[in-house]
Amino acid sequence: MAARQGERRGQILQTLASMLENPRAEKITTAALAAQLDVSEAALYRHFASKAQMYEGLIEFIENTLFSLINKIQSDDEDGKAQTEQIVSMLLGFAEKNPGMTRVLTGEALVHEHERLQQRINQLFERIEAAFRQSLRVAQLADRLPREHDIGAQAAVLIAYVAGRWQFFVKTGFKRRPQEGWEAQRALLLGWAETWTRTMAG
């Protein structure tokens, strides 16, 4: 019974995420969600106490997915610069594959919802920025970056870049892909490490 209930919760969240993939969607109501699932609103509330709790379920899925991937990148590769590049690329790729969840990440889907949802997204961003700082520190300790390099400032630039690509993806109705132009932009964002390494080698 518990497994069946978990499956139903997952189905509700999957349907909500799918509805969010419509770039011109109106505010999603529990009535619309129930109609999409062909159940009553009362049936939804047997699994979630509120619509805010449904969004929390999506945010929890996003958190678990992103940070399990970040942890894997940081444990599999000892090169801090490579870690940083891979994390940025992964974040852009996740958004491209999950446009509905990107609307949650940008806060666009959370307008008029409970403020604690946006607070949780803010905390998610802070954790991603901390992950960037960690990888950049690894690069610095390995002399891939100069000792005086401002790791905090670099991490802030990277999270701003990712957030901007996500935002543009949503604002253009999912037409401008987050990974579009990433290779050229990567050189601008992270080319400093290559320049420093060549200088040290010389």
Identity of the amino acid at 13? L
Q: Give the separation between CA 158 and CA 136, rounded to whole angstroms.
A: 11
Contact 129, 83 (CB under 8 A): no
Domains of the chain: 51-201 (1.10.357.10)
Beta strands in the chain (DSSP E): none
The dihedral region occupied by 39, where left means phi > 0, alpha psi between -120 and 50, and beta the remainder, is: beta
Q: What is the mean pLDDT of residues 64-74?
A: 98
Q: Give the separation between CA 10 and CA 174, rounded to whole angstroms.
A: 24
Cβ burial of 136 (10 Å; 0-12, 13-18, 19+) is buried
The pLDDT assigned to 192 comes to 59
Q: What is the pLDDT of residues 87-124, one digit of tens each?
A: 999 999 999 999 999 999 999 999 888 899 999 999 99
The pLDDT assigned to 195 comes to 53
What pTM was computed for the model?
0.90
> Taking all residues of the chain, what is their mean pLDDT, rounded to a whole number?
90
